[in-house]
């Protein structure tokens, strides 16, 4: 690695597993000090130990971002401990699929709370810090990256509320992008297709089997593939803004 993010600080939500953990490792390898934000402290401690063993800097911040107080506290803790905030990756999310007619309302609440409100709580507190970082950084830029999904581009039966949260995140990001152009804060969305993560493990048993059969013929992306995408976006020169990247598994049609 070339330490392209040396002297910067990144915060990654949902970093206890999957895309979040891979992204945290990759940004640390690029030289960023990384704040690891998630609920599972044991997972975060293990990830932080691995990053430090490789010569990186990692701060464990246990928090549930669906709580406005905890989300704001996570951002402020990262800034207090690491000194600044140059990059935020809104990765925490949950996918609960199934027909709307039979869906427990609690599943809809969970998706809105994490995929939308959690993203908003982190972003709201982080924005002033990102603006300040862009103003005083030698790189003259800061980055806000939100991981959405192909479900933020294509609506399909059985994923109505998941689609709502991901389409909404994309629209929010685009409006924010336009607002922040003059502040040199780049706003990007990454739309992964099928990725080998824990996301499907939260599905009800019958829905999980249906989802598995649908993707059985697809070689899924790996979390590192999406981490590579994040790293590509946030290491560009300030003259380059990569606002949207759609990354599908090669055999995926939707």
Residues 58-111 pLDDT 10s: 999 999 999 999 999 999 999 999 999 999 999 999 999 999 998 999 999 999
Q: How far apart are CA 218 and CA 118, in angstroms?
A: 30
For this structure, is 121 an active site residue?
A: no
Phi, psi of 54 (to 5 degrees): -90, 5
Predicted confidence (pLDDT) per residue in 36-48, tens digit: 999 999 999 999 9
Position 254 confidence tier, pLDDT thresholds 50, 70, 90: confident
Catalytic residue of the set 162, 188, 199, 249: 162
* CATH number, domain 9-247: 3.40.50.720
Beta-strand (E) ranges in the chain? 9-13, 33-38, 57-62, 87-90, 142-147, 185-192, 244-247
The mean predicted confidence, pLDDT, of the chain is 94
Look at residue 201 and tell me whether its pLDDT is greater than 70: no
Q: Is the pTM of this model over 0.75?
A: yes
For the chain, what are the domain ranges? 9-247
């Amino acid at each position: 690695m070339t330490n392209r993010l040396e002297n910067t600080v990144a915060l990654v939500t949902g970093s206890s597993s999957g895309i979040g953990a891979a992204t945290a490792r990759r940004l640390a390898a690029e030289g960023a000090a990384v704040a690891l934000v998630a609920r599972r402290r044991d997972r975060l401690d293990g990830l932080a130990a691995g990053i430090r063993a490789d010569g990186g800097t990692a701060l464990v911040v246990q928090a549930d971002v669906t709580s406005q107080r905890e989300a704001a506290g996570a951002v402020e803790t990262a800034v207090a401990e690491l000194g600044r905030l140059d990059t935020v990756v809104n990765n925490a999310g949950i996918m609960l699929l199934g027909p709307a007619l039979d869906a427990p309302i609690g599943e809809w609440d969970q998706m809105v709370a994490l995929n939308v409100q959690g993203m908003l709580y982190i972003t709201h507190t982080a924005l002033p810090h990102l603006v300040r970082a862009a103003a005083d950084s030698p790189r003259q830029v800061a980055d806000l990256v939100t991981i959405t999904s192909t479900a933020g581009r294509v609506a399909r039966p059985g994923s109505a509320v998941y689609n709502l949260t991901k389409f909404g995140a994309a629209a929010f990001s685009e409006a924010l992008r336009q607002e922040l152009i003059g502040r040199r804060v780049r706003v990007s969305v990454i739309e992964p297709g099928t990725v080998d993560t824990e996301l499907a493990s939260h599905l009800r048993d019958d829905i999980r089997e249906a989802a598995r059969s649908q993707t059985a013929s697809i070689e899924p992306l790996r979390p590192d593939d999406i981490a590579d995408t994040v790293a590509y976006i946030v290491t560009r020169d300030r003259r380059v803004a990569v606002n949207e990247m759609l990354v599908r598994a090669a055999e995926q049609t939707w």
